[in-house]
A and B are shown apart, each in its own frame.
Chain A
Amino acid sequence: MADRLNNGIHIEGLTKRYGAGDTAVDALRGVDMQVAPGEVVGLVGPSGSGKTTLLKCLGAVIEPSSGSMKLGNDVIYKDGWKIKDLRALRRDNIGFVFQAPYLIPFLDVTDNVALLPMLAGRPNAESRQRALELLEALDVAHRAKAMPSQLSGGEQQRVAIARALVNRPPVILADEPTAPLDSERALAVIRILNKMAQQYQTAIIVVTHDEKIIPTFRRIYHIRDGRTHEEAGEGRTFE
């Protein structure tokens, strides 16, 4: 949780090789990355550069081939997983925001957000209260009882952000969260992510192709052929 893992993300020399022998493909060739708590960084690169592979490694859904990853003070990977229960790691320490919101269509907005703390064993009432607080913060509390199909694209993405934040994870991985949105809504989502990162001291990595939002990042990691290099961003706020 955030108070336990308050030092963001540290990645060193992370590699990922698919296949073996002559057909082996190196998707990541030694990625180094650091994201501090409360910071939102961009991860940009062309198709096939390794963005999604890096996101899957960070999300503990595929195993890297070598290198190390730290969440806060805990090494979660060093030439092998150091944590047994990756499912619990994802549930408690990593929030996900996808290109499409992927809300559970048969749960209302509140329960979509409250599901994670419920899965972690928290009482329903407490989980819903926490969900409502976040929905309030994200300005979608008035749609708390609505079903996902009744929301606009922007509202759905805000609910997805609330779901990613509800367990107060130290890290949020956002995979092209603004792709389906127009400029205004895309920038609104980034403003929300920045605000939430500050408010909950969460380290957020935003994978994007979206030219509209790239100028908003203060730091950007470019990834090409499985390697990253860091550069300073413009950090524009577009208020």
Chain B
Amino acid sequence: MISLAGRDILHAWGKFVFTGVGLGLLIGVTLTMAGVYRGMVDDAKVLLGNSGADLWVVQKDTLGPYAEPSSIYDDVYRGILGMPGVERAANVTYLTMQVRLGERDVRAMAVGIVPGGPGEPGYLVAGRQITRGHYEAVADMASGFKLGDRIQIRRNHYTVVGLTRRMVSSSGDPMVFIPLRDAQEAQFLKDNDVIVQQRRRTAANPAFNRPGVPGLLDAVIASQSNNSFVNAVLVQTKPGHSAEEVAEPIRRWKRLQVYTRVQMEEILVAKLIATSSKQIGMFLVILAIVSAAIVAFIIYTLTLGKIREIAVLKLIGTRNRTIAGMILQQALGLGFIGFVVGKISATLWAPLFPKYVLLEPGDAARGFAAVLIICALASVLAIRAALKVDPAEAIGG
């Protein structure tokens, strides 16, 4: 028996191909949306992996430093270094801001790190790590910065000495690593007017400006102009010590919150990007419904255009299942064309997206199965219409 569906598709190939391309672009968008979600999850994992930390020590009762603001004193790390099982510990700050390069600016996360300590980018694709205490930066390639660029963070200029990749914040902003002291200053830097105002107010406060206590006012003002806070301390454990075993004494004795890598992954994936993933999930549902509606409409229209031929087929003895099979195969054929176009489109345009888009083969396989199921369901309407056709219609009257 010849394939009626195959012959019909070959005969009206233009209609099928153009419809398939339209559907394919929609499927491409769907696959890309799934890729955006996968990219967010992967970015989160890579972010944790590249930080080189086993533990994140943050302010008590917070989900910091990525999901919630966290502020701890910058000398806390010294005490942590003395805790059992701690190999290395270093302060780190995170601040999302606009980083300027000439006339343009880039949304980025400025990360204050201690050169050589945990938190430093794990590997570079060009240049070198930060070696000076001030005004050097290592930038993620997604920022668009190049080696030797002079970028501006707040009032200070930094020279880009190294480039890294896959170091982005949970919201996809590329990271720019700068020395910790610079980052602390940038985080709490006030403009000159505010500094003058603050000094005037402090001098006007009789509690800080006592005639009988010389030097008190200067000391208070000096303390106000320094930032002695960081967002977190990143800890590397010694070999042979489990993360939880090292974390527990820090929680108990330092009265700080400590997260292991597993817990931090849970925060990043389940909490921080939960809303985004729901958003993407909604998009996927809507796109699936739109795809189904398009396939149903196209197949239904194609079937209605063949009512007379279907009546003739039924009159000359074609089984209902042969006619239903023809329509189902056409719907599946349309889905196949759409999926191939969609997969190619998604693969071609994914690198152009500002955020990392991870197209996983597993998602493609699941997407293919979903497309076929959607197409099969979408063909039900057309099959019903075809099965209702009375063979007597072929005779007319």
Q: How far is the CA of A91 from the CA of B308 in the complex (A)?
A: 17
Task: State the interface size on chain B (CB cutoff 8 A).
Answer: 26
Interface of B, secondary structure class, is: helix
Residues B395 and A106 in contact, CB atoms below 8 Å apart: no
Tell me, rounded to whole Å, the shortest Cβ–Cβ distance linking B389 to chain A.
11
Chain A residues near B309 (CB-CB < 8 A): 102, 104-105
> A152-205: which have CB < 8 Å to B?
163, 175
Q: Which residues of B contact A (CB under 8 A)?
A: 1-2, 4, 7-8, 10-12, 308-309, 312-319, 322, 390-392, 394-397
- Using an 8 Å CB-CB cutoff, how does the interface string of A15-56 with B read, 1 for contact, 0 for none? 000000000000000000000000000000000000111011
Chain A residues near B315 (CB-CB < 8 A): 59, 61, 90, 96
Of B12, B317, B392, B396, the most chain A CB neighbours within 10 A belong to B317
Select the stretch in A75-83, A112-120, A133-141, A212-220 that faces chain B: A112-120
Known: A104-B309, A106-B8, A124-B2. A119 touches B316 (CB 8 A): yes
Q: Select which of A53, A62, A90, A107 is within 8 A of B316 by beta carbon.
A: A90
Residues B395 and A91 in contact, CB atoms below 8 Å apart: no
Chain A minimum-CB-distance residue to B309: A104
Chain B minimum-CB-distance residue to A124: B2
Q: How far is the CA of A62 from the CA of B397 in the complex (A)?
A: 13
Of B7, B313, B316, the most chain A CB neighbours within 10 A belong to B316
Residues A102 and B12 in contact, CB atoms below 8 Å apart: no
Tell me, rounded to whole Å, the shortest Cβ–Cβ distance linking A164 to chain B.
9
Known: A106-B10, A106-B12. A116 touches B317 (CB 8 A): yes
Task: State the interface size on chain A (CB cutoff 8 A).
Answer: 31
Chain A residues near B390 (CB-CB < 8 A): 61
Known: A107-B7, A147-B11. A120 touches B395 (CB 8 A): no
Known: A87-B317, A88-B317. A102 touches B394 (CB 8 A): yes
Residues A124 and B1 in contact, CB atoms below 8 Å apart: yes
A66 at interface (Cβ–Cβ under 8 A)? Answer: no
Residues A116 and B316 in contact, CB atoms below 8 Å apart: yes
| Top 7 A-B residue pairs of the complex, sorted by shortest distance between their CB atoms | A91-B317, A52-B397, A106-B11, A61-B392, A106-B8, A102-B312, A106-B7
Known: A106-B10, A119-B316. A56 touches B308 (CB 8 A): no
Tell me, rounded to whole Å, the shortest Cβ–Cβ distance linking A154 to chain B.
19
Q: How far is the CA of A207 from the CA of B10 in the complex (A)?
A: 36
A221 at interface (Cβ–Cβ under 8 A)? Answer: no
Q: How far is the CA of A52 from the CA of B391 in the complex (A)?
A: 13
Chain B minimum-CB-distance residue to A61: B392
Residues B317 and A105 in contact, CB atoms below 8 Å apart: no
